[in-house]
Structure 1
């Protein structure tokens, strides 16, 4: 119970920080206030799972995050995914998982495209 209360306060503080950002700050970040609020409300493990899944497809986390606009799109898709439990179970055995095992992932096609682009 205490962890849930702390999480609520943490989320509230993050939202307050977002509301304090100027439009120029947001322009510099390349993100809208609405997007920023959505990411602040996102469960913390979404970004971790996204990068783990990218590694299954042969992508380096730093490279995925470097393509900032694509990374934001990947995060948005990942946070709305309905296969969270399957994703967690699959990634728990990431050392034995192949991209073909991850067809449930709504970002799988994007990861495949990014991996092909990286190889060239």
Structure 2
């Protein structure tokens, strides 16, 4: 419970700081206000779950972070996924395989990236 409260306070403070950023500062970051808000308010579980699913395809966190724009899109897809329960269950049970995770909104990207790891 305390951890959830700490996370909530952290997000609240981060959103407050985000509101104070000017357009130039956002441009320097290379992110839109919306993208920053998505990152700040995202559950801490999302990047971990996303990395675990990428590993099903033989990819590392470094592999998927290498392309920054795609990484942000992958995070957003994972964060708004309707199959979180199914995903979590398969990952925890160790039954997730490239051929049985069609519910994952990032599966096609992972599959393509695994087939062409150079980029």
Shared fold by TM > 0.5?
Answer: yes
Q: How does 1:37-52 map to 2 (within 5 A)?
A: 37-52=37-52
1:8 counterpart residue number: 8
Cα distance, 1:29 vs. partner? 2.3
For 2:48 and 2:93, the matched residues in 1 are separated by 15
Mean alpha-carbon deviation: is it higher for 62-71 or for 1-10?
1-10
Instruction: Determine the structure 1 residue equivalent to 2:103.
Output: 104
Matches within 5 A, 1:1-120: 1-94=1-94, 96-118=95-117
Deviation track 1:79-107 (CA, whole Å, cap 9, x = no partner) reads: 1101111111111134x532112111111
- Unpaired runs of 5+ residues, structure 2, are none
Of Structure 1 and Structure 2, which has the larger fraction of its residues in helix? 1
CA RMSD of aligned residues (A): 1.9
Residues in 2 aligned to 1:2 and 1:52: alpha-carbon distance in whole angstroms: 26
Separation in 1, partners of 2:115, 2:73: 18
**Separation of aligned partners in 1, 2:113 and 2:23:** 31
Give, in angstroms, the shift of residue 20 of structure 1. Answer: 3.0
Deviation per residue, 1:32-70 (Å, 9 max, x gap):
011111221111100111111111111121121121000
How many aligned residue pairs are there? 119
Write out the 4+ residue segments of structure 1 that deviate beyond 4 Å after TM superposition. none
